[in-house]
A and B are shown apart, each in its own frame.
Chain A
Amino acid sequence: MTAVIDFQGVTRRDGGLVRLDALDLQVDEGEVLALLGHNGAGKTTTMHLILGLLSPSEGQVAVLGGAPDGAHAETLRRRLGYLPENVSFYEQLSGREVLDYFARLKRVDRGQVGELLDRVGLGHAAHRRVKTYSKGMRQRLGLAQALLGDPRLLLLDEPTTGLDPAATRDFYDTVRGLRERGCTVLLSSHVLPGVEPYIDRALILGGGKRLALGSLTELREEAALPITVRARGHGGAGDLAQRLAGWDDPRITVTPHDAHEVALTVPPDAKLAVLRRLTDTAGVEDIELLPPTLEHLYTHFSAELSPAQRGDAE
């Protein structure tokens, strides 16, 4: 299978500033990839390169089988959807009119407009002016715009900023539905906990460089961050902690939480040994396993950056 997005050693410089530094990236069809990074890490630059709004200073970009900044752009642009980070649609138009306008420009069947508005939950507000829309409604209108013409590739720049948790979940459910239909989705986000269950792989960028790329499992393996194991049980004060103290492995640390709960920090390879002892310990009633979250992984991978690097591209 050929990659939908193919970056070969792509560098982008603006004046003396390196926005993106020798990035290699392949994204397959039907994959959901999260672009993570601090402000100025190169997320938006990466998206703009895919969209053909920028050309690489070095290296090669291919999207759906061609360079997005050349003659291929015309065909490519009808097959991709994009939701920019900050966009305020024509306020004096109604939601329906906005979508209708974009449908004409994308030369897609305008019968889709009503259906898309219903799909993002704006059917009831289709005839109201965008001026009266809330932030969440505007964002959903933007998503409907990106979905025009059944795109093969969807680029969403910070799509859930300003959305409440319920709207965020709805939003990601739509993304999941698209993925099941074979659409490739690239989304950038810094709201890490929300995005975790919906992505296949994550690309962590920092200072224009690729810090890590892989699925959550792969990233966890690579980072080898300790797992947190929480044990709960009965017994007097400090009792549980006492019974669970004293490990042969010096990497395991025990932190009593309160009288009934203890947290153990455990390296991945010692996980089973710890679990065995916990199940054998009298008084332990509940065990909870907390693998490192995307947030922990992100912190781990971006810790190598100096503070100056993290801020200089902003």
Chain B
Amino acid sequence: MNAILTIAGKEFRDGLRNRWVLAIALVLAFLAVGIAWFGAAASGGLGFTSLATTVVSLATLAVFLIPLIALLLAYDAVVGEQEAGTLLLLLTYPISRTQLLLGKFLGHSLILAAATALGFGIAGAVIAVGAEGVALTELAAGMGLLIGSSILLGWVFIAFAYLISVWVTEKARAAGLALVVWFLFVLVFDLGLLALLVSVERGGDWLPWLLLLNPTECFRLINLTGFEAARSYTGLTSIAEGSAFRPAMVTAILVAWILVPLGLALLRFRRRAA
């Protein structure tokens, strides 16, 4: 356990030192404030519109950005140390491979969690101060849910990044695969689903279940169904009625999306040759 904390602590300090935490937080805060402020631009207005629109827009932003940030943060976690030669050295130390991988995962998870909380937290504070007529409790609940689910989503993609990182032997290849994973889950899946939705004429009760096959859709479901005011906004809730789509259930599925790739990464890492 001690070794895990040592490795996690080193990884987290690295994140602070090379300004990952700061950079992620600033990007998220900047874009989030921008979206909140120009939320009415589509309808020709300017300024804060409503909390519901804002939360829906922020969730859409997070779906694009958080996975990308997580993959970029962690794709070289193992393969980077392998190329530097420190992995070989660490494997001769009195620590297990499981400890090594979990320690690094914990460190990266903390970096992403701190940066997300900071970035969206700043955005929430700016909205609370700058926008008129916002119910503070509602805002806090909405932003809290957004931050919590964003962190979970980020961890899912850190786990994917780890799976990539233990599988390949070159950093460049890991970076390429990370982008492919992002592309598939964030862009291609949605298009595919849309195409399916259009082509299936009757029946199609099973279609909403497909949403659970993609962690980014799980994230969307949590934010859109979990936030009272946003519910009326989207047609999504009408297709996603039923016990399997309650926030608690979807959150559990999102957690499974962390554990499965991380577990596979551990298996692979323990078995592979040094």
Q: Which residues of A come within 8 Å of B, CB atoms? A: 48, 51-54, 73-75, 77-78, 80, 82, 84-90, 92-93, 101-102, 104-107, 145
Q: A54-B273, A92-B17, A101-B6 are in contact. Are A82 and B85 (CB under 8 A)?
A: no
- Interface residues in B7-64 by Cβ distance below 8 A to A read 7, 10, 14, 17-18
Q: Tell me whether A101 and B85 are in contact (CB under 8 A).
A: no
- B184 cross-chain contacts in A, Cβ below 8 A: none
> Does any Cβ of A come within 8 Å of B86's Cβ?
yes
Q: Tell me whether A78 and B17 are in contact (CB under 8 A).
A: no
Closest residue of chain B to A87 (Cβ to Cβ) is B85
Q: Which residues of B come within 8 Å of A, CB atoms? A: 2-3, 6-7, 10, 14, 17-18, 84-86, 88-95, 273-274
One of B6, B14, B18, B84 near A105 (C-beta < 8 A)? B6
Shortest distance from the beta carbon of B30 to any chain A beta carbon, whole Å: 25
How many angstroms between the C-alpha atoms of A241 and B18 in the bound complex? 71
Shortest distance from the beta carbon of A20 to any chain B beta carbon, whole Å: 15
Q: Tell me whether A84 and B85 are in contact (CB under 8 A).
A: yes
Shortest distance from the beta carbon of B254 to any chain A beta carbon, whole Å: 32
Q: Tell me whether A87 and B88 are in contact (CB under 8 A).
A: yes
Q: Tell me whether B84 and A88 are in contact (CB under 8 A).
A: yes
Q: Tell me whether B88 and A74 are in contact (CB under 8 A).
A: no
Shortest distance from the beta carbon of A293 to any chain B beta carbon, whole Å: 32
Q: Tell me whether B88 and A77 are in contact (CB under 8 A).
A: no
How many angstroms between the C-alpha atoms of A57 and B89 in the bound complex? 23
- B17 cross-chain contacts in A, Cβ below 8 A: 92
Q: Tell me whether A102 and B93 are in contact (CB under 8 A).
A: yes
Total A-B Cβ pairs within 8 A: 59
How many angstroms between the C-alpha atoms of A77 and B93 in the bound complex? 6
16 further A-B contacts with Cβ under 8 Å, apart from A54-B274, A87-B88, A90-B86, are: A52-B92, A53-B273, A74-B94, A75-B94, A77-B93, A84-B85, A84-B88, A85-B85, A87-B85, A92-B14, A92-B18, A102-B93, A105-B90, A105-B94, A106-B94, A107-B94
How many angstroms between the C-alpha atoms of A80 and B14 in the bound complex? 28
How many angstroms between the C-alpha atoms of A105 and B94 in the bound complex? 7
How many angstroms between the C-alpha atoms of A80 and B93 in the bound complex? 9
- A78 cross-chain contacts in B, Cβ below 8 A: 94
Closest residue of chain B to A91 (Cβ to Cβ) is B84
- B90 cross-chain contacts in A, Cβ below 8 A: 105
Q: Tell me whether A51 and B92 are in contact (CB under 8 A).
A: yes
- B274 cross-chain contacts in A, Cβ below 8 A: 48, 53-54
One of A52, A73, A87, A92 near B86 (C-beta < 8 A)? A87
- B95 cross-chain contacts in A, Cβ below 8 A: 105
Shortest distance from the beta carbon of A140 to any chain B beta carbon, whole Å: 15
How many angstroms between the C-alpha atoms of A74 and B84 in the bound complex? 24
